[in-house]
Amino acid sequence: MNKKILTIILLLLCAVVAAVPATAAKKSLTFSMETEIPVLDPQKSNAAPSFTVISHVFENLVRRVEGKTIPGAAESWETSEDGRTITFHLRDSKWSDGQPVTAADFEYSIKRLLDPNTAAEYAFAAYYIAGAEEYNLGKADVSAVGIKAVDDKTLVINLKEPTPYFVSFLGHGSFAPSRRDLVEKYGAAYATDADKAAYNGPFILKEWRHEETKILEKNPGYWNADAIKLDKAEIMVIYDTATALNLFESGEFDIVDVPSNLFKQYQDQGTAKLFLNGALDWMKFNLRDNPAKPWLANKNFRLAVGWAIDRESYTLVSTKGLYMPALRFVLPIVQGVGSEYGKEYPLDFYAPKGDAAKAKEFLAKALDELKIKASDITMEYLIQDQEETRLMAETLQQQLQNVLGINVKIKLVTRMQRQQLEADGEFDTVYSGWMPDYDDPMSYEEIWVSTSSHNSAKYSSEAYDRFVQGAMVEKDAGKRMDMIFAAEKQILEDAPLVPLQLRRKAWMTAPGLKGFGRPLIGAEYDFAFAYFE
């Protein structure tokens, strides 16, 4: 072939190749949650699914990313020499309707969190602020709360005592800003639909079809919009884990949690990843006065239940070994003084396989105190109606009936119903638990003090309160952690709860997905800075 012709052909081929655009990186993310969220009101939300969405459509003063606290709506802050005053300097940023985000938005929102009329379960989260607890409990006026917008860009928070982790705690969803004018406009309907709120986060909630899907679109007015690579995220509600897995396998979902009965299969294939998601589950007892069921308020009965559980068999049968036995109250991997709390303060309060003989000893004491027989005892266990949790309840029911000879009835409801019944105190025992809101054992312990808005069990112990409240103000890190450990042992001995399991998750992601996080703190997922290669 003539060299000139060959050269022309090659040049034409190169031109054709150059004209074909490279495959564009995917810009949308699709996955599902196992439950619908009732509301996206930051001050009224109380569960990880809600806080997952909140963390993506709202921007707090700070943001938590991969365990680190980074600037959010506040571009900087400084703490006074005595550790009690924190001054935040807000950056220029806007709400999705174009209004500026101001320090007054945050002052209003945190005071709204504390307002007794809000009835926020997370009100206790702000108790570190001077005057906050007194206001929330109706013992002081709102003017006593130590938070003030000095001007549009300056917010000052005064704490009761130096609290080094408080700034990181401000990344929690309950501290996200709410616009006062919109709260007053929509009232109880605020943030119950996509168009009933304004947003200042990386994404805007564009569509919310309840019980079906939520569509989040990139917020072009977000102060850090250049760092947001996704244009859209669609979060569907899929109650059945097998259905979600099938949608992932067919390429329709980008992330999926692997059902416990299949995790070994996917783990062996090398496709499933494992992680502790921070959740520690327990059976919570209702300690309210109940003449019809006095055994619930009997400590020896509750300890009998705790010791009757073979947690190794329970987790193996109900989750195929995906979850791990929980033998204590505080998640061991949260931060201690210099390393993990569980390494510095080891504790196995319960035995992995339980102890039937010890359980019967505690039961005998309870029966003698109550003047009844074991067969007289009926205990209802409230749990959400899902395949995995049904199996958990049935396994626990069988163990307790076999060891203790009591009657255990299972009450299955939706997750939203369980949360409401638990909050209202309408249960005998309930499948409950906690994920830490910040990286410290106090995140578990403060919710059980007698004045906590989250203490639906109505547990009250002067000793426990004294240890926790002492730890809240103790400046010496070692002494503080000693108090925290004393509080943990106290609550285990009082047994308003019995620990069940540490939740370990198996999950998979689509090829090329990067920057998608599974936080230990607060939300279930973090995709703010996710992208596809």
What CA–CA distances, in Å, run from 161 to 177, 504, 512? 24, 35, 46
Which helix (H) or strand (E) segment holds residue 63: the answer is strand 62-65
What CA–CA distances, in Å, run from 259 to 239, 508, 518? 12, 11, 17
What torsion, rounded to 10 degrees, do the Cα atoms 383, 387, 393, 394 define?
Answer: 140
Between β-strands 429-434 and 85-90, what pairing exists: parallel, antiparallel or unpaired? unpaired
The residue ranges of DSSP E strands in 435-496, in sequence order, are: none
**In the chain, where the domains are located:** 28-237+510-532, 276-505
Residue 414's CB is within 10 A of a number of other CB atoms, namely: 14
Q: Which CATH number fits domain 28-237+510-532: 3.40.50.720, 3.40.720.10, 3.40.190.10, 2.40.50.140?
A: 3.40.190.10
Output phi, psi for 383, to 5 deg: -155, 150
Per-residue exposure over 257-283, b if at least 16 CB sit within 10 Å of its own CB, e if not: bbbbbbbeebeeeeebeeebbbbbbbb
Decide: 105 and 180 in contact? Cβ < 8 Å.
yes
| Structural tokens at position 398 | 């069988």
CATH class of 276-505: alpha beta
101 Ramachandran zone, left/alpha/beta (phi>0; psi -120 to 50): beta
Residue-wise pLDDT tens digits, 282-316 = 999 999 999 999 999 999 999 999 999 999 999 99
Per-residue exposure over 335-352, b if at least 16 CB sit within 10 Å of its own CB, e if not: bbeeeebbeebebebbee
Report the residue count for the chain. Answer: 533
Over the chain (533 residues), the average pLDDT of each successive run of 10 is 39 38 79 90 91 97 91 98 96 98 98 96 92 96 97 97 89 96 97 97 98 97 97 95 94 94 86 87 97 97 98 94 95 92 97 98 98 97 90 97 98 91 96 88 94 92 96 89 98 98 93 92 90 96
Q: Which residue has the tokens 């989750």?
A: 319
Question: Hey, which residues does 255 pair with through a beta bridge?
Answer: 509
Decide: 326 and 314 in contact? Cβ < 8 Å.
no
Q: What angle do CA 418, 457, 432 make, to 5 degrees?
A: 40
Q: What angle do CA 120, 121, 125 make, to 5 degrees?
A: 95
Based on its alpha-carbon atoms, the radius of gyration of the chain, rounded to whole angstroms, reads: 26
Contacts of 346 (CB under 8 A, 6+ apart): none
Cα–Cα distance for residue pair 373/368, rounded to 1 Å: 9
Of the candidates 475, 485, 476, 474, which has an alpha carbon nearest to the alpha carbon of residue 441?
485
Residue 369 carries which side chain, given as an amino acid letter? Answer: E
pLDDT of residue 344: 97
pLDDT of residue 217: 98
pLDDT of residue 144: 97
pLDDT of residue 20: 38
